[in-house]
Amino acid sequence: MPNTRLNESRIETLEPRKAPYDIRDGDLKGFGVRVMPSGKKRFFIHSQHEGQRLWKTVGDVGSIDLDEARRRAMGFLAAIRRDETPALPEEKLFEVVAEEVFSRYGRNWKPGTMKVNRNYLRSKILPRFGGMNIADITSKDVQCWFVSLHATPVAADRSMPILSVIMRQAEIYGYRPEGSNPCVGIRRYRRKGRERFLSEPELHRLARVLESHEDRHPREAAFIRLLLLTGCRRDEIRTLQWTDYREGHLFLRDSKTGPRTVWLSSPARAVLDGLPRQGPWVFPSPRIAGPVSSTVLEDFWYRVRKEAGLADVRLHDCRHTYASIAIMQGETVTTTARLLGHNDAQTTLKYAHLSDRSIREATDALACILGEG
Cα 1 to Cα 3: distance, rounded to the nearest angstrom: 7
- 3-class DSSP assignment, residue 196: coil
For the chain, where do the domains classified as CATH 3.30.160.390 start and end?
3-87
Backbone angles phi, psi at 53, to 5 degrees: -75, 135
Q: What is the pTM of this model?
A: 0.51
Can you say how many angstroms the Cα of residue 143 is from the centroid of all Cα atoms in its chain?
19
Confidence tier at 232 by pLDDT (50, 70, 90): confident
138-165 residue pLDDT tens: 888 899 999 999 889 889 999 999 999 9
Beta bridge partners of 281: 241
92-172 topology per CATH? DNA polymerase; domain 1 (1.10.150)
Is domain 200-370 classified as CATH 1.10.443.10? yes
Is residue 18 scored above 80 in pLDDT? no
For the chain, where do the domains classified as CATH 1.10.150.130 start and end?
92-172
- 3-class DSSP assignment, residue 154: helix
Burial of 107 (0-12, 13-18, 19+ CB in 10 A): exposed
For the chain, where do the domains classified as CATH 1.10.443.10 start and end?
200-370
Q: Which of 83, 164, 85 is nearest to 120 (CA)?
A: 164
98-107, 176-185, 310-319: segment of lowest average pLDDT: 310-319
Cα 240 to Cα 290: distance, rounded to the nearest angstrom: 10
Confidence tier at 192 by pLDDT (50, 70, 90): low
Cα dihedral across residues 318, 320, 325, 330: positive or negative:
positive
Tell me what the pLDDT averaged over the chain comes to. 80
91-138 residue pLDDT tens: 478 988 999 999 999 888 888 889 999 999 999 999 888 878 888 888
The top-level CATH class assigned to 3-87 is: alpha beta
Alpha helices in the chain (DSSP H): 8-13, 66-81, 94-104, 111-120, 126-129, 139-148, 153-172, 200-213, 218-230, 234-238, 266-273, 294-307, 316-328, 333-340, 356-370
Cα 135 to Cα 141: distance, rounded to the nearest angstrom: 12
pLDDT, position 98 = 94
